[in-house]
Amino acid sequence: MSSESAASPSPSRRLVRGLLETLAIIVVAVLISTALRAWVMRSFYIPSGSMEQTLQVDDRVLVNQLAPRFDPPDRGDIIVFDDPADWLSDDQVSSYRPNPVLEFLGLAPSDAGQQLIKRVIGRGGDTVECCDAQGRLLVNGEPITETYLEAGMAPSQMEFSVTVPDGHYWVMGDNRSNSADSRFHQDTEPFVPAENVVGTVFLINWPLSHFTWMSSPEEVFAQVPEPEGITGS
């Protein structure tokens, strides 16, 4: 028997080595996926029509969880946030239940049952009002033309005038006639605390026919002045 043959590992040892290498790859993949899900990005399922036509029922979106830590949400951003004060009743909670293993690995969207998704209209210090003579919202006294609303959609059929506390947000759904947002909780807690923000939506990734990179409609709020004394949330 040659020395080269004697040095060759047996088939059983090759099998064990292969299994260990595969296991190591799986463990590393799970750790990376868990880290991404915990700190970087997360997938969510859209259970209701409150953000139509921007987001449709059954859409899946990716949320940047790092953004709120380094670049607080701005006016116009779409955010996912934890329910601030029982905005959701039991019958509003999503019935979608993802596969827990796939959700843990980041391969399935999370059940958004205790989170909501809305658009930021006002941040800390802003005054948000409805409405001017043309039916437009005003932010810090400046009327805005909300190009993301469906044609013919009234910005709000409910009058209000609020000043957003520092470190909070005033949020509204794009489907204004079917969105129980900040407007509907003025008697309790209409503002979303910054610490409740999970992340900013940056991509509609499913279904493929809806695949869209999301960006903030900066032109809508371009003429809005900063509030006196407070420059942001």
pLDDT tens, residue by residue, 76-108: 999 999 999 889 864 343 434 455 555 554 445
For the chain, the domain total comes to: 1
Question: What pLDDT shows up at residue 114?
Answer: 81
C-alpha span between 6 and 52 (Å, rounded): 69
Residue 31: which pLDDT band, with cuts at 50, 70 and 90? low
Identify whether 201 is part of a domain.
yes
Answer whether 216's CB lies under 8 Å from 74's CB: yes
In this prediction the pTM is 0.77
Question: What pLDDT shows up at residue 232?
Answer: 47
Identify whether 200 is part of a domain.
yes
For residue 167, which amino acid is it? G
Residue-by-residue DSSP string for the chain: --HHHHHSPPHHHHHHHHHHHHHHHHHHHHHHHHHIIIIIEEEEE--SSTTTTTS-TT-EEEEESSHHHHS---TT-EEEEE-SSS-S-GGGS------HHHHHTTSSPBP-TTEEEEEEEEETT-EEEE--TTS-EEETTEE---TTSPTT--S-SS-EEEEPPTTEEEEE-SSGGG---GGGGTTS--SEEGGGEEEEEEEEEESGGG-EE----HHHHTTPPPPTT----
Identify whether 185 is part of a domain.
yes
Identify whether 6 is part of a domain.
no
Question: What pLDDT shows up at residue 91?
Answer: 38
Active-site residue, 118 included: yes
Highest mean pLDDT among 4-13, 21-30, 129-138: 129-138
Q: Which residues have CB under 8 Å from 11's CB, separation 6+?
A: none
C-alpha span between 100 and 169 (Å, rounded): 31
Active-site pick, 43, 48, 50, 110: 50
Residue written as token pair 């709000």: 156
Sheet containing 142-143: give its strands across: 142-143, 137-139, 127-130, 160-163
Identify whether 106 is part of a domain.
yes
- Domain interval for residue 210: 44-220
CATH classification of the domain holding 72: 2.10.109.10
Residue 41: which pLDDT band, with cuts at 50, 70 and 90? confident
Question: What pLDDT shows up at residue 17?
Answer: 76
Residue 207: which pLDDT band, with cuts at 50, 70 and 90? very high
Identify whether 30 is part of a domain.
no
Identify whether 19 is part of a domain.
no
Active-site pick, 118, 179, 182, 233: 118
Question: What pLDDT shows up at residue 68?
Answer: 81
